[in-house]
Structure 1
């Protein structure tokens, strides 16, 4: 009898426990009830909800339209797996590829610790050059648990589905950013249900996600939806973060898929492209870029709506409403010492000769940076990065430095300097140099590469519990401790705007100032320093921008006033051509 009572008591306990789990993983948001699942990290339970719709599927007449609030549902929606990623092709950089893609992709995911108290919220915007990626391989369970914060990850439309203006107000560009804003509106409306604080929202993103979060900080359309932002290795100050090619590319896509319309028939083009098969439209968007110069093609643009003015015009007036709001937000950003290695040429497996760097690769990059100023830019790049006595390994690393600085260093340095203000929000800068023992996110890499590659910082921010950036990654004990320290800084900032509070770190992260240029190096040794890679930073935030803003220049023809630059550049090209005839 005693045994039966014991078993009955145990059964009651188990039933109650199961009921408790169900109650914690079933919640009702403003569109219906959702059922997630729980997992634990060192005894801390995290409730996870995946694939929650935050907007109507952008299909049919909603293709190329701003996102619309989602429809409600009855019953309980199972939110236990990621939704499809937005339309894309497999990427060429070695990042994880989406296994399922669809136009019906506007979903988000919530990682919420099952602990008491109202929590700060962090919303993650994934990278991928604005044309690939998704939330499917960003598992923030451990970060949510250790930081005692809620993490939300958001899908958004990509490539020509998300960043191509076709017919002005009827089909605006920047739809991917509008999707991100719709996700933030969902957070504001629903995050209290998960014990989140809608007044303590930090947006953070990597690469194009870093570009996105700074762009959101610069538009009135996102105002009031977040209070802090963290760009990782990407900002709106990068050339690749903006495009001006929508008129050209939209017509080329239309021609490829059989929309036979004239340049002025934008409404007809829009109607035709809305009827085009999604896969055919995707393929045409890639075909349309063949032979078009540039690194990225489908990106945010100055549209007169979300962005009425260009970045340079906005910051001509330091007292403008946009600049004052940008500086009022708390900022923490940085970059990795090997970010640019994603573009390392495959021929550099065994290094690079100094002669090749000087005579081939520097001129190519100078032309990419500014064709009109190619000669002068090649000159300053050679002065900084070329060493005739260096070995092949050192020279290859210097070329990787050029790529890092061109794509990321200058953009992050400029964003940080633009934000710092005595009367604004807090400003913090990091330099990430930790080399993972378990492999790079971008792979394979040449054997001489021993830096922190693009996105390697995210491996440590997500932790060792369930690594999704590098398959089968195994952290050393030292790397686990480093990961915990990084999580503490990030969670602190989300809670207070200060990475040193409320949990005191072992190394205090100094606030960035215009005079001291303070930063923290996150490497094998975490240390507070000043003036990160100073000569290179000045080159990319001051010297090269001044060259690009100056009169047009060519080696054969000298300098010309900017207003006549294009005509003279064409003339000089003709002169060069005739010289070789």
Structure 2
């Protein structure tokens, strides 16, 4: 009798255990097999899940191939994603090589929120000038603490491995953008298995990530992948995004790594495929004139119309004018001193003893400005380039010299040329040729320690609100203070709620705190939401402030 009771008890225990395993939130079934995530207290994570075959060997410099492998064992999704192979601006020392060529993954973070069975989704494309950065470098603790949406971070190829292009069908480029698109397709197809809502996907990014969001949205079928997008401090019209001169840089890359003077693109591509990936990426240092300038030697390009798997075959301006782009709600933003990202690096020690790079700029303006401001390859001749350089200097500096006292004006020059002007231009085009809402905000609330201080190692300079001072309130980043001020805590919560609400809005309504964004489509003035430490306010402008 006791034996029967023991057998019955063990049977119940086994049945209960099996049912528990079936409902285990850490175990997820995909078409590739089963994976196991991690319990992080107030959220679950499923990291470094491959969405594409590793871009190695013959797959280097090719459009990504969807991941096809089957898992016989449970896939371990508890390890954080590696950064894609890069020459990293923020790695200390002369050797800035970091990461792995096998890096095409998505990482998913799901809040524990028992009040809902499913969640809207925010797809995150990291920044880093298309050259560096990584999914793991943008923290998610703030987002998970609020528990409003599932966050999916996308890793994609960077630098020459992601964007080297000869401008023809043999080496068309934009591999990093094609990675992003395939990752977005993977999210749409698989996120329901994690409790995500495939019809409520918002895609966001900062800097190069923001420009990437805009470029993805310029695909006419973007609405099949996402419901809306937000581009923080970066858009497709920024002068550092879609550049000319890629063919010359690609062949110079080949010469540097030992491919000689390749006679054609096919020969160059074959040679580059045979070289160690680390050598190709290390060659980036040869394209920098000082520090990490220009910050995007390899980035998006316009591909030839007949290129296989082409991502972008027209200039973004022409795409928007055609009206043939993803007609979904979109927001584009900037901060008042975005240009501090570039200007602050000039406060470092220069090549001459006792001088900063800023002071050296007095003698090198005509040499350096075209690279710093990304117009070297867009001018027809040196005379035209020099005329534009002189015009910019006179407009912002007059006859003053570059030094600490005039730093603020130089920083404003970089803000206008590299970020603000093109934000206005893109919004102008969308309000004229778009049919879905187009929103914008400007953020003005300096961090106590941000990108300006990190790049300059200076605390005695007034930087204002620099690149990332808003975005890093959402996603923690080592470049700014981890401890938020009381006003920043409020702003952080407002931003995170803004994202969650935008992802589920059926009418494309965007709100921040007590403010509702005003649509720019069809408006005679620019509707710009001003966000400061004191709150938010809708303002109208003929020109951006």
Give the conservation status (yes or no) of the 8 Å contact 1:56–1:69. Answer: yes
The answer to whether the 8 Å contact 1:363/1:378 transfers is no
**Equivalent residues of 1:437, 1:475 under 8 A apart:** no
Kindly indicate whether residue 107 of structure 2 is the aligned counterpart of residue 109 of structure 1. yes
Aligned to 1:284: 283
Q: Mean alpha-carbon deviation: is it higher for 191-200 or for 513-522? A: 513-522
| Cα distance, 1:155 vs structure 2 | 0.7
Matches within 5 A, 1:403-552: 403-421=414-432, 424-437=435-448, 439-440=450-451, 443-445=454-456, 446=458, 447-462=460-475, 467-470=476-479, 473-496=482-505, 497-500=508-511, 505-512=513-520, 514-531=523-540, 537=544
CA deviations over 1:110-132 (Å, ceiling 9, x no partner): 11223323322111111111111
Partner Cα separation in structure 1 for residue 202 and residue 211 of structure 2: 15
Partners of 1:211 and 1:273 in 2: how far apart?
A: 27
The RMSD of aligned alpha carbons is 3.8
Alpha-carbon offset, residue 433 of structure 1: 1.2
Superposition deviation, residue 512 in structure 1: 3.1
Change (3 A) 1:253 1:108: same
**What TM-score results when the alignment is normalised by the length of structure 2?**
0.81
Distance in 2, matches of 1:477 and 1:385, equals 35
**1:49 equivalent among 38, 46, 49:** 46
Aligned-residue offset at 1:345: 5.5
Q: How far apart in 2 are the matches of 1:439 and 1:79?
A: 32
Structure 1 window deviating more from structure 2 (269-278 vs 331-340): it is 269-278
Q: What secondary structure is seen at the aligned counterpart in 2 of 1:344?
A: helix
2:47 matches 1:39: no
1:196 and 2:203 matched? no
Number of aligned positions between the proteins: 503
8 Å Cα contact 1:520-1:526 kept in structure 2: no
Report the CA distance shift for 1:260/1:100 in structure 2 as closer, same or farther (over 3 A): closer
Once residues 270 and 347 of structure 1 are traced to their aligned partners in structure 2, the CA distance between those partners, rounded to angstroms, is: 36
Q: 1:527 to 1:471 in 2, by over 3 A?
A: closer
CA 372–38 in structure 1, closer or farther in 2 if over 3 Å, else same = farther
User: How many angstroms does 1:521 deviate by?
Assistant: 1.7
Instruction: Report if aligned partners of 1:51, 1:82 keep a CA contact under 8 Å in 2.
Output: yes
**Paired residue for 2:80?**
82
Could you tell which deviates more after superposition, 241-250 or 50-59? Answer: 241-250
Partner of residue 10, structure 2: none
Partner of 2:4: none
Q: CA deviation at 1:424?
A: 1.3
**Could you list the per-position Cα deviations for residues 136-167 of structure 1 after superposition, in whole angstroms to 9, with x for gaps in the alignment?**
11122432452611111111011111101359
Segments of structure 1 that go 5 or more residues without pairing to the other structure are 1-11, 539-581
Classify the secondary structure of the residue corresponding to 1:469.
coil
1:61 aligns with 58
How far apart are 1:516 and its partner, in Å? Answer: 2.9
Q: Which residue of 2 aligns with 1:344?
A: 343
Q: 103-112 vs 372-381, which deviates more?
A: 372-381
Structure 1 contact 363–374 (Cα < 8 Å) conserved:
no
| Higher mean C-alpha displacement, 110-119 vs 176-185 | 110-119
Aligned counterparts of 1:98 and 1:20: Cα–Cα separation in 2: 44
Q: In 1, Cα distance between the equivalents of 2:400 and 2:267?
A: 61
Q: Does structure 1 conserve the Cα–Cα contact (< 8 Å) formed by 2:472 and 2:480?
A: no
Contact 1:135 1:155 in 2 (8 A): yes
Supply the distance in 1 between the matched residues of 2:393 and 2:246 (Cα, whole angstroms).
35
Match of 1:23, SS?
Answer: coil
SS in 2 for 1:443: helix
Instruction: Please identify which structure carries the higher helix content.
Output: 1
Does the C-alpha gap of structure 1 residues 284 and 56 become closer, same or farther in structure 2, counting only changes over 3 Å? Answer: same
Query: In the TM superposition, what is the alpha-carbon distance from 1:355 to its structure 2 partner?
Result: 11
Task: Please tell me whether the aligned partners of residues 166 and 246 of structure 1 are also in contact (alpha carbons under 8 angstroms).
Answer: yes
Judged with a 3 Å threshold, the aligned counterparts in structure 2 of structure 1 residues 483 and 373 are, in CA distance, closer, same or farther, namely same
* Residue 175 (structure 1) aligns with: 175
Secondary structure of 2:135's counterpart equals coil
Per-residue CA distance 1:524-579 (angstroms, 9 max, x = gap): 122223246x66x49xxxxxxxxxxxxxxxxxxxxxxxxxxxxxxxxxxxxxxxxx
Contact 1:355 1:388 in 2 (8 A): no
> Once the 2 structures are TM-superposed, how far is the Cα of residue 419 of structure 1 from its aligned partner?
1.4
Q: How far off its partner does 1:475 sit?
A: 1.6
1:505 CA displacement: 2.8
Instruction: Describe the shift of the 1:283–1:410 C-alpha distance in structure 2 as closer, same or farther (beyond 3 A).
Output: same
Give me the whole-angstrom Cα distance separating, in 2, the residues matched to 1:133 and 1:346: 18
For 2:257 and 2:362, the matched residues in 1 are separated by: 43
User: What is the CA–CA distance in structure 1 between the aligned matches of 2:412 and 2:62, rounded to whole Å?
Assistant: 40
Distance 1:281 1:118 in 2: 43
Flag structure 2 segments of 5+ consecutive residues without an equivalent.
Answer: 1-12, 350-354
Question: Are 2:318 and 1:307 equivalent residues in the alignment?
Answer: no
Q: CA deviation at 1:269?
A: 2.6
State the 1:101 CA deviation: 1.0
Return closer, same or farther for 1:394/1:485 CA change in 2, 3 Å cut-off: farther
